[in-house]
């Protein structure tokens, strides 16, 4: 018999007011005036408004996963990730996944399937990260980096993913989540 998750007994709070505070391009800061389910005002909260993001787990016909090394400003370090990025306004997540794969790695694939959708940090952000599995990835041309981006493509054998994750070489939480989901679903 499958597990049935009980619905919550507590209720959603209401955003009584919304006050934009700052726009930094890649995210905005807003202050929400909150009311609890009984209607009582609570202290304001500050959140980030971010666009949705995508990740691409691109698998070559020979069973390798297309990954990239990329410098990250927040941690001031090189990180091993899957290609991905911001979904542009009015862009479909799958179109963004195709675009990001090509821009960051030079790879393309004919078939993409949605693997997962997660909320990166629901305590502070309302965006989602869509992870796609790209089947039959193949090198198709040059990369096309954004002005604050530089990537180096590396192919990781699918059988080595667990070892690479467990070694701590992949530290980006959204990438670990995506690869763990891939390993659980696709590598059974």
pLDDT at residue 101, rounded to an integer: 98
Residue 59 to residue 157: CA distance in whole angstroms: 9
Taking residues 75-82, what's their average pLDDT?
97
pLDDT, tens only, 32-61: 999 999 999 999 999 999 999 999 999 999
C-alpha distances (whole Å) from 58 to each of 108, 127, 131, 174 are 8, 23, 10, 15
Q: What pLDDT shows up at residue 185? A: 86
Please give the Cα distance from 29 to 151 (Å, whole number). 29
Going by C-beta distance under 8 Å and a sequence separation of 6 or more, which residues neighbour residue 87?
A: 51, 52, 53, 54, 93, 96, 130
Per-residue pLDDT at 172? 97
From the centroid of its chain, how far is CA 121?
A: 11
What number is the average pLDDT over the span 111-120? 97
Task: Say what the pLDDT of residue 86 is.
Answer: 97
90 CB burial (10 A radius; 0-12, 13-18, 19+)? exposed
What pTM was computed for the model?
A: 0.94
Alpha-carbon distance values, 82 to 57, 122, 140, 179 (Å): 6, 22, 17, 9
Q: What is the pLDDT of residue 179?
A: 97
Structure tokens at 110: 């004919």
The string of pLDDT tens digits covering residues 129-177 is: 999 999 999 999 999 999 999 999 999 999 999 999 999 999 999 999 9
Rounded CA-CA distance 8/5 in Å is 9
Residue 188's pLDDT is what?
64
pLDDT of residue 186: 78
How many Å apart are CA 165 and CA 171, to the nearest integer?
8
């Amino acid at each position: 018999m499958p597990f049935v998750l009980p619905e919550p007994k507590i209720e959603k709070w209401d955003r009584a007011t919304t006050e934009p505070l700052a726009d930094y391009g890649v995210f905005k800061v807003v202050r929400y005036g909150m009311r609890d389910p009984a209607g009582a005002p609570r202290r304001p909260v500050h959140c980030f408004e971010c666009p949705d993001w995508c990740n691409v787990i691109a698998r070559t016909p020979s069973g390798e996963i297309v990954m990239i090394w990329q410098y990250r400003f927040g941690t001031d370090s090189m990180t091993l990730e899957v290609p991905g990025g911001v979904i542009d306004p009015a862009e479909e997540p799958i179109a963004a996944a195709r675009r990001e794969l090509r821009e960051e790695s030079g790879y393309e694939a004919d078939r993409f399937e949605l693997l997962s959708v997660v909320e990166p940090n629901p305590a502070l952000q309302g965006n989602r990260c869509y992870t796609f599995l790209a089947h039959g990835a193949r090198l198709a041309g040059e990369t096309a980096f954004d002005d604050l981006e530089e990537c180096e493509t590396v192919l990781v054998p699918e059988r080595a993913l667990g070892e690479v994750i467990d070694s701590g070489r992949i530290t980006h939480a959204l990438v670990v989540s995506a690869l763990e989901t891939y390993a659980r679903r696709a590598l059974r």
